[in-house]
Structure 1
Amino acid sequence: MQGADINGLEAKIQKHYVASLYESGEDYGHGMLDLNILIQKNQCECLNESNDHPMVNALSSSGGHLVSDCDEQLIISITFNQLVKISAIKFKSPPSLGPKKVSVQDLVLGQLNFVKFQNVQNMQLFVKDSHSGDETTIIDHLAFIGSPIATNKMDDFQRVAGKKGENH
């Protein structure tokens, strides 16, 4: 193209790209963002969730929360629609009923070992207990902070010709 304003085009792309990726509005720096927009919610599962307060509530910042059912433990399975690098897991919970120990790599909530989470598509979290030791754990919001890895999302591909299972 001749006469195109390269800097202007780049600024427009960055404006719309950043606006669509940063759903939470928080700046995590170094290209990190809230990866919840890449979660396949229909492929996720939580064992021991309350029927009235399922995990899907905690994956959205629009309200609602996740509550454990029979005891304080939860097993959370998350599936991303593409490979991601995870640098942090963010829990927002009431101080006394929030998770205390969460196992992904036997950790007490803090900084993740970033090297171990470079090529992630599925993640399972085991919430062992709550801060108060009560029989209930509440998670208002669960966020995964990191960056997507540039890959092809197979869900985006459509059949061009022929029928499923047909050889050409």
Structure 2
Amino acid sequence: MSAESASSIQRNQVDLLDFVNWSGVECLNQNSSHCLPNALKRDYREDEGLNLESDADEQLLIYIPFTQVIKLHSIVIKGPEEEGPKTVKLFANKEHMGFSNVNDYPPSDTVVLSEDDLKGKPVILKYVKFQNVRR
């Protein structure tokens, strides 16, 4: 989340960074030079020169566990229009998913990102699907 998107957090909502269980975070297919902390951690995610990218193809599989049950209202994704993600599938409370079995589960929500979304605009999720998220 960028500084501009952090300021767009609505009242009674918080940045969930403080609730991430960092020891359990995983990212499959990430390029070791352009890894997940670049996209998530404070001071890294605000740096335009740092990003997250795949080392193999256009797919990444990101697992983010939390230290407590959270309610997820929206997500913020920044990236260049030409190279940024186009479609994001979110799976609530699923663990140990890999590329071999991810298609066995229906996503809790699927987001198709627009140019504005890739500039850091919060994307509202199907809130009812993300009321008791642990991972």
Q: Which amino acid aligns with 2:128?
A: V
1:47 matched to 2:15? The reply is: no
Greater per-residue strand proportion: 1
Q: TM-score, normalised by structure 1?
A: 0.54
Unpaired runs of at least 5, structure 2: 45-49, 91-108, 114-122
3-state DSSP of counterpart to 2:76? strand
Q: 1:103 to 1:25 in 2, by over 3 A?
A: closer
1:118 matched to 2:131? The reply is: yes
| Cα shift readout 1:69-112 (whole Å, capped 9, x = no counterpart) | 11111001011111100000110111211110011223324421
3-state DSSP of counterpart to 1:52? coil
| Equivalent residue, structure 2, for 1:130 | none
Flag the structure with larger Rg. Answer: 1
1:86 matched to 2:76? The reply is: no
8 Å CA contact 1:44–1:79 kept in 2: the answer is yes
Q: TM-score, normalised by structure 2?
A: 0.67
Report how many residues are paired: 99
Q: Which amino acid aligns with 1:89?
A: I
1:108 matched to 2:112? The reply is: yes
The within-5 A match list for 1:16-27 is 26-27=7-8
1:71 matched to 2:57? The reply is: yes
Q: 1:50 to 1:102 in 2, by over 3 A?
A: same
Quote the sequence identity (%).
39
Unpaired runs of at least 5, structure 1: 1-23, 123-168
